[in-house]
Structure 1
Amino acid sequence: MPQVYIADDNHEFATFVAVVSRQAGWDAVTCENGRQLLDTLREERGPALVLLDINMPVLDGIEAIEEIVDLDRRLLVRFMTGGADAPIIAARMIASARDLTVGRNIFKPVSKARLEEILDEAATVLEPDAGNA
């Protein structure tokens, strides 16, 4: 079962994403901020999708990505935001400079159908053989 980590301080949105993910066959874990996400990612292993909100308390998406890039895990990161593009561009630059796989940005609100497309795309990228291609 593929793993998805959802880091977003908007509880309703994170729950929506988790429910859709579980319906699509993913094991979904929600985190309220970047610090909680990092703690969780350090405890787990294996490839995973990370849906990372840029604007969060405690540790935002930009601060979190600076630490995520040092984890020894195969992760696909998709940045999420409901606001301006500038922070997301900075986060993508940090992740890309460190060879972390980064998918297209997700702009909120996102429909169930679009979220299902995102999960399908991620599942293809994270397939065991995809990393060896």
Structure 2
Amino acid sequence: MPAILCVDNNETIRKVVKDSVKDLGYDFYEAVNGKEMLNVLDNDLVPDLIIIDWSMPVMSGKESIIKIRENKNFKDTTILVMINVLKKDQVMDAIDVGANYYVLKPFNVNGFQAEIKRIIEKSAG
């Protein structure tokens, strides 16, 4: 069963992602910021997909992606970054530091779910 980790300081966004992931039948894990994400990843979790918010306190999405890519266990883990539509000019920065995909917030839940499913199926082979 694919495992998906969502990292976002917004509880509502995490709930939307959780519901989307659970509806697809995937395992769901969460963290409220990049620092907590590192603790979750230290517990032997190797997610198939990390969905991460670009704008977070404590450790930004950019810093979090850099940390993920520095760890040999996660260098090939697929990352989907969520960026506020008002900050869409930062998409290339996210890709440059290691994000594989992006979605602009606010997003359509059905489209978001379809994107997650497409990414998981693509990474499965």
Classify the TM-score, shorter chain: 0.7 to 0.9
RMSD: 1.6
- Unaligned 5+ segments in structure 2 are none
Give the total of aligned pairs: 122
1:58 Cα offset (Å): 0.3
Given that 1:15 and 1:30 are in contact with CA atoms closer than 8 Å, whether structure 2 keeps it comes out as no
- Amino acid corresponding to residue 62 of structure 2 in structure 1: I
1:30 Cα offset (Å): 1.5
Rate the CA distance shift 1:47–1:58 in 2: closer, same or farther, 3 A: closer
Distance 1:88 1:5 in 2: 20
Distance 2:23 2:82 in 1: 20
Describe the SS at the equivalent of 1:90.
helix
How big is each residue's C-alpha offset from its partner over 1:22-58, in whole Å with a ceiling of 9 and x where there is no partner? 1111111121111111221232344511111000010
Describe the SS at the equivalent of 2:28.
strand
In the other structure, the counterpart of 2:118 is: 121
Distance 1:35 1:18 in 2: 20
1:76 aligns with 2:73: no
1:102 aligns with 2:104: no
1:53 aligns with 2:50: no
In the other structure, the counterpart of 1:98 is: none
How big is each residue's C-alpha offset from its partner over 1:58-94, in whole Å with a ceiling of 9 and x where there is no partner? 0010011111002213411011011312333212102
- Unaligned 5+ segments in structure 1 are 96-100
